[in-house]
Amino acid sequence: MDAVLKIVLYQPLNPHNTGAIARTCAMLGSELHLVRPLGFDLPNRDLRRASMDYILDTNVSVHESWDHFKASLSPAARLWLFTDAAQQTYTEVAYISDDYLVFGRESDGIPAQILSAHPCVSIPMRGASGGPRTDHRFHSLNVSVSAAIALSEALRQIHSVS
Protein backbone atom coordinates (compact mmCIF):
# COMPACT_ATOMS: atom_id res chain seq x y z
CA MET A 1 0.00 0.00 0.00
CA ASP A 2 1.47 3.36 -1.02
CA ALA A 3 1.68 6.09 1.59
CA VAL A 4 -1.06 8.55 0.68
CA LEU A 5 -1.03 10.68 3.80
CA LYS A 6 1.67 12.00 6.05
CA ILE A 7 1.59 12.54 9.78
CA VAL A 8 3.86 15.32 11.04
CA LEU A 9 4.81 15.61 14.69
CA TYR A 10 6.11 19.05 15.59
CA GLN A 11 8.78 18.65 18.28
CA PRO A 12 7.28 15.55 19.94
CA LEU A 13 8.29 15.05 23.55
CA ASN A 14 7.13 11.54 24.36
CA PRO A 15 8.67 8.47 22.69
CA HIS A 16 5.64 6.37 23.68
CA ASN A 17 3.23 8.65 21.78
CA THR A 18 5.58 8.79 18.80
CA GLY A 19 5.89 5.01 18.83
CA ALA A 20 2.12 4.55 18.92
CA ILE A 21 1.76 6.95 15.99
CA ALA A 22 4.50 5.09 14.08
CA ARG A 23 2.53 1.89 14.57
CA THR A 24 -0.64 3.56 13.27
CA CYS A 25 1.28 4.90 10.26
CA ALA A 26 2.72 1.46 9.49
CA MET A 27 -0.66 -0.24 9.70
CA LEU A 28 -2.44 2.42 7.61
CA GLY A 29 0.32 2.94 5.04
CA SER A 30 1.23 6.49 5.98
CA GLU A 31 4.51 8.31 6.37
CA LEU A 32 5.73 9.85 9.63
CA HIS A 33 7.65 13.13 9.75
CA LEU A 34 9.35 14.25 12.96
CA VAL A 35 10.38 17.89 13.38
CA ARG A 36 13.26 18.52 15.79
CA PRO A 37 14.05 19.16 18.51
CA LEU A 38 12.67 15.90 19.85
CA GLY A 39 12.12 15.24 23.55
CA PHE A 40 14.05 11.96 23.21
CA ASP A 41 17.07 10.55 21.43
CA LEU A 42 17.00 8.45 18.28
CA PRO A 43 17.24 5.52 18.25
CA ASN A 44 15.10 5.05 21.32
CA ARG A 45 14.16 1.84 23.12
CA ASP A 46 10.86 3.25 24.42
CA LEU A 47 9.91 4.43 20.93
CA ARG A 48 10.62 1.01 19.47
CA ARG A 49 8.77 -0.76 22.30
CA ALA A 50 5.68 1.48 21.97
CA SER A 51 5.63 0.92 18.22
CA MET A 52 5.89 -2.84 18.81
CA ASP A 53 8.74 -2.76 16.25
CA TYR A 54 6.43 -1.35 13.56
CA ILE A 55 8.79 1.62 13.53
CA LEU A 56 10.99 -0.59 11.35
CA ASP A 57 8.16 -0.75 8.78
CA THR A 58 7.31 2.95 8.89
CA ASN A 59 8.69 5.47 6.46
CA VAL A 60 10.08 8.02 8.96
CA SER A 61 11.71 11.31 8.02
CA VAL A 62 13.40 13.49 10.62
CA HIS A 63 13.69 17.23 9.90
CA GLU A 64 16.11 19.49 11.77
CA SER A 65 13.56 22.28 12.18
CA TRP A 66 10.17 23.53 11.00
CA ASP A 67 11.95 25.58 8.33
CA HIS A 68 13.82 22.51 7.07
CA PHE A 69 10.57 20.55 6.99
CA LYS A 70 8.83 23.32 5.01
CA ALA A 71 11.76 23.50 2.58
CA SER A 72 11.35 19.78 1.85
CA LEU A 73 7.76 20.21 0.66
CA SER A 74 6.58 20.61 -2.90
CA PRO A 75 4.81 23.90 -3.69
CA ALA A 76 1.52 21.98 -3.98
CA ALA A 77 1.78 20.38 -0.54
CA ARG A 78 -1.27 20.85 1.69
CA LEU A 79 -0.84 21.03 5.45
CA TRP A 80 -3.67 20.70 7.98
CA LEU A 81 -2.62 21.77 11.46
CA PHE A 82 -4.58 20.31 14.35
CA THR A 83 -5.36 22.62 17.26
CA ASP A 84 -8.24 22.94 19.68
CA ALA A 85 -8.45 26.66 18.83
CA ALA A 86 -9.57 26.06 15.22
CA GLN A 87 -13.11 26.90 14.18
CA GLN A 88 -13.22 24.32 11.38
CA THR A 89 -13.49 20.66 12.42
CA TYR A 90 -11.40 17.91 10.88
CA THR A 91 -14.47 16.36 9.23
CA GLU A 92 -15.20 19.56 7.27
CA VAL A 93 -12.00 19.21 5.24
CA ALA A 94 -11.85 17.40 1.88
CA TYR A 95 -8.57 15.50 2.23
CA ILE A 96 -6.59 14.38 -0.78
CA SER A 97 -3.65 12.03 -1.29
CA ASP A 98 -0.36 13.41 -0.03
CA ASP A 99 -1.90 15.79 2.53
CA TYR A 100 0.11 16.43 5.69
CA LEU A 101 -1.68 16.18 9.05
CA VAL A 102 0.36 18.16 11.58
CA PHE A 103 0.22 17.69 15.36
CA GLY A 104 2.02 19.71 18.02
CA ARG A 105 3.99 19.02 21.16
CA GLU A 106 2.17 17.21 23.91
CA SER A 107 2.82 20.10 26.32
CA ASP A 108 1.77 23.14 24.30
CA GLY A 109 0.86 22.23 20.72
CA ILE A 110 2.02 24.20 17.70
CA PRO A 111 3.27 27.79 18.12
CA ALA A 112 0.83 30.56 17.17
CA GLN A 113 3.08 31.95 14.42
CA ILE A 114 3.02 28.58 12.63
CA LEU A 115 -0.72 28.12 13.20
CA SER A 116 -1.46 31.53 11.70
CA ALA A 117 0.31 30.63 8.45
CA HIS A 118 -1.65 27.44 7.66
CA PRO A 119 -5.17 26.02 7.61
CA CYS A 120 -6.12 24.70 11.04
CA VAL A 121 -8.71 22.14 12.08
CA SER A 122 -9.89 20.73 15.38
CA ILE A 123 -11.28 17.52 16.76
CA PRO A 124 -14.36 18.52 18.78
CA MET A 125 -13.85 17.66 22.43
CA ARG A 126 -15.88 17.90 25.57
CA GLY A 127 -15.38 21.29 27.15
CA ALA A 128 -14.61 23.00 23.83
CA SER A 129 -17.01 24.86 21.59
CA GLY A 130 -15.28 25.63 18.31
CA GLY A 131 -12.38 27.28 20.09
CA PRO A 132 -10.28 26.91 23.20
CA ARG A 133 -11.62 24.64 25.91
CA THR A 134 -14.15 26.23 28.22
CA ASP A 135 -14.15 23.36 30.71
CA HIS A 136 -10.57 22.80 31.78
CA ARG A 137 -11.33 19.58 33.64
CA PHE A 138 -11.02 17.99 30.20
CA HIS A 139 -7.58 18.83 28.88
CA SER A 140 -7.12 17.10 25.54
CA LEU A 141 -6.98 13.85 23.69
CA ASN A 142 -3.67 12.04 23.63
CA VAL A 143 -1.75 13.05 20.49
CA SER A 144 -1.56 9.43 19.32
CA VAL A 145 -5.35 9.11 19.61
CA SER A 146 -5.82 12.43 17.78
CA ALA A 147 -3.52 11.33 14.97
CA ALA A 148 -5.38 8.03 14.60
CA ILE A 149 -8.78 9.78 14.50
CA ALA A 150 -7.59 12.29 11.88
CA LEU A 151 -5.78 9.74 9.75
CA SER A 152 -8.78 7.41 9.76
CA GLU A 153 -11.14 10.17 8.59
CA ALA A 154 -8.76 11.36 5.88
CA LEU A 155 -8.27 7.81 4.58
CA ARG A 156 -12.02 7.15 4.70
CA GLN A 157 -12.62 10.17 2.51
CA ILE A 158 -9.83 9.36 0.06
CA HIS A 159 -10.84 5.72 -0.33
CA SER A 160 -14.53 6.54 -0.70
CA VAL A 161 -13.81 8.64 -3.80
CA SER A 162 -11.20 6.31 -5.31
Looking at residues 67-83, what average pLDDT do you find? 97
Predicted local confidence at residue 111, as pLDDT: 96
Q: Where are the domains of the chain?
A: 6-161
Predicted local confidence at residue 56, as pLDDT: 80
Closest-CA residue to 99 (of 27, 16, 31, 15): 31
pLDDT tens string 37-53: 999 998 888 888 887 77
- Look at residue 15 and tell me whether its pLDDT is greater than 80: yes
Question: Which is more confidently placed, 51 or 103?
Answer: 103
Q: Are 94 and 128 in contact (CB under 8 A)?
A: no
Predicted local confidence at residue 138, as pLDDT: 59
Predicted local confidence at residue 25, as pLDDT: 95
Fold adopted by 6-161: Alpha/beta knot (3.40.1280)
